[in-house]
Amino acid sequence: MPKITFFNLPEDKKETLIQAVKKEFSRVPLYDASITNIIKEASISRGSFYQYFEDKEDAFFFLLNELTKENKYIFIHLLSRNHGNLFETMIEFFRIIVSEEENFNFLKNTFLNMTHRIENTFARSFSSTDKNENFEIFSSLVDKSNLNISNDNELFYILQIIAAVTFRNFVDKFARDLTVEDAMNTYLIEMNLLMNGLKKSNI
Amino acid sequence: MPKITFFNLPEDKKETLIQAVKKEFSRVPLYDASITNIIKEASISRGSFYQYFEDKEDAFFFLLNELTKENKYIFIHLLSRNHGNLFETMIEFFRIIVSEEENFNFLKNTFLNMTHRIENTFARSFSSTDKNENFEIFSSLVDKSNLNISNDNELFYILQIIAAVTFRNFVDKFARDLTVEDAMNTYLIEMNLLMNGLKKSNI
DNA sequence: ATTGACATATGACACGCTGTCATATAAGAT
DNA sequence: ATCTTATATGACAGCGTGTCATATGTCAAT
């Protein structure tokens, strides 16, 4: 978490700083990013940076969190518009993320260097790391009547599976520079397999 | 790839160096590892390190590749013993990896900091990144008769899905320090969901 | 207006790490 | 014995991080 000093900053200065942080993390992934570049871009001193953030990671995760908040908002919106249909919602959500242009490079650097912590942060967009408050919200919005589960608890595993597969598809999209349509095609095939099962169903 | 000089090394010196590399990457993840520590441990000069490897990553991926080769061997063996049953094989394979003690810390550091490149390397144990020669081998060994696919090509997507879910379970095991049995339980639930489908099947 | 208390800003610096290179040593061939 | 090629070495430049003593700004109280 950024320090209080950061949040006390006047709006315009804060915005300049955020843009500088975003620029650097769009240029290179977390571990290659340089604080020196950020402070040059934002025209602040080295010391100031450390008054605002704990370190490089702190700044990165602040940014990622902001993005995730927006995505979560989008996801919740889609879910209710689709009357709780999880699969329809995931497919629409997937399209929105892979079509994203403004944050393209930031997303690319982030997905291609997805550590456990980054994945967990991002996953809050549409799922939940733990069985926490997030999970309750999602659970209440999802139409469970046509899911292969006997109790709420099992929804958790379904979300885990969908998250895992969705992530892999995000990464693939960026790693292989797929077009939006190619990425969508693969994702649709895999979501269908997920829905219907990988095992041949008995006739 | 390590340089020729490395492969020309007498067996014992090479082994000492590999152990030093392993020790450092067991201590901390790739990006926190220090070449200085490795050369101290192996009693070689800084210059020598660079005669053997391109850089830190080069050493890391060499090690990961070695490990992956062993895993691949294990996987193939299990697959044939299970007469090509993919799910049974994955479950046995999963248990072997999460029970691993010798490489515990190396695996932990690796899984918790799994970038796209690391994932791809490791995935060669039981799947294939691309539709390459690896895929042909796996494809020929897998019993496809009870899989929900109409052609060989679709096997690829099934492997992708299984790989994604398996990875997530590996990561979870290390991230939350699960016992082997807890990790197995979750994995079994998820594999069952994968087999039978996330959607309620029509009665 | 002056003071004191607290919040914020600054950049020089110590420290650690990487990758290189000129030089030294060893090994092998003729 | 000499030349050639392969390997080893550690000093060093360059860069980046996080800290800290110092400077500057803010604001309430007198």
Residues 27-66 of chain A with CB under 7 A from strand C are 44-48, 50-52
Q: Residues of chain B whose pLDDT is less than 50?
A: none
The C-alpha of B190 sits at a distance from chain A's nearest C-alpha, in angstroms, of 6
B199: phi then psi, degrees, rounded to nearest 5: -90, 145
pLDDT digits (tens, 9 = 90+) for A139-197: 999 999 999 999 888 999 999 999 999 999 999 999 999 999 999 999 999 999 999 99
How much is the pLDDT for B129?
Answer: 66
- For chain A, list residues whose CB is within 8 angstroms of any CB belonging to chain B: 31, 87, 111-117, 119, 145-148, 154, 157-158, 160-165, 167-168, 171, 175, 186, 189-190, 193-201
| Mean pLDDT in order along chain A per 10 residues (203 residues) | 96 96 97 96 97 97 96 96 97 98 97 94 82 81 94 92 97 97 98 96 66
How much is the pLDDT for A203?
Answer: 54
**Residue A131, H or E segment:** none
CA A74 to CA B161: how far, in whole Å?
25
The two structure tokens encoding residue A143: 């139409």
Distance of alpha carbon B198 from the chain centroid = 27
Contact call for residues A125 and A71 (beta carbons, < 8 A) = yes
A123: phi then psi, degrees, rounded to nearest 5: -60, -20
- Which of B176, B198, B201, B202 is best to mutate for the A interface (most A CBs within 10 A)? B198
How much is the pLDDT for A136?
Answer: 86
pLDDT digits (tens, 9 = 90+) for B25-46: 999 999 999 999 999 999 999 9
Alpha-carbon distance values, A194 to A146, A158, A161, A171, A188 (Å): 14, 10, 9, 18, 10
Q: Where are the alpha helices (DSSP H) in B2-149?
A: 4-8, 11-27, 35-42, 46-52, 56-81, 86-99, 104-112, 116-123, 133-141
The C-alpha of A6 sits at a distance from chain B's nearest C-alpha, in angstroms, of 27
